[in-house]
């Protein structure tokens, strides 16, 4: 009976670890998609800014160019932040998965040890 219980603990830990891997991959994929969408939105906004400057008769030099560059720079920072958050979530989920697997092994070891004590 104790070997069955130990095996079940290992299997449960392995299943939780696999689930954590899937969740980590999904978190990274979601962050990449969000970053791609935000990058596209920022590019569209920059184009609208440029058109607005040109329509108003302002040349794209000096202050308008600085505004466009600031928009680009802030956009890059925002997109990188989205990706970094996704990576951090994925890293956390992977660590939780490794911990769950380890807990399953430890639990199994303790179960086997406790069943051998009477001998």
pLDDT digits (tens, 9 = 90+) for 3-25: 788 889 999 999 999 999 999 99
Q: Which domain holds residue 7?
A: 2-116
CA gap 75, 71 in Å, rounded: 6
| DSSP summary character for residue 61 | S
CA gap 90, 108 in Å, rounded: 27
What is the reported pTM?
0.77
Please give the pLDDT value at position 76: 96
As for how many domains the chain has, the answer is 1
Contact 8, 99 (CB under 8 A): no
């Amino acid at each position: 009976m104790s070997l069955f219980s130990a095996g079940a603990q290992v299997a449960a830990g392995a299943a939780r670890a696999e689930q954590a891997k899937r969740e980590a991959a999904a978190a990274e994929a979601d962050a990449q998609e969000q970053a791609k969408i935000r990058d596209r939105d920022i590019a569209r906004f920059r184009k609208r800014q440029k058109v607005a400057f040109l329509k108003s008769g302002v040349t794209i030099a000096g202050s308008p160019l600085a505004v466009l560059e600031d928009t680009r720079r802030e956009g890059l920072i925002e997109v990188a932040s989205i990706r970094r958050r996704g990576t951090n979530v994925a890293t956390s989920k992977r660590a939780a998965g490794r911990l769950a697997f380890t807990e399953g092994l430890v639990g199994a070891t303790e179960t086997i040890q406790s069943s051998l004590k009477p001998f």
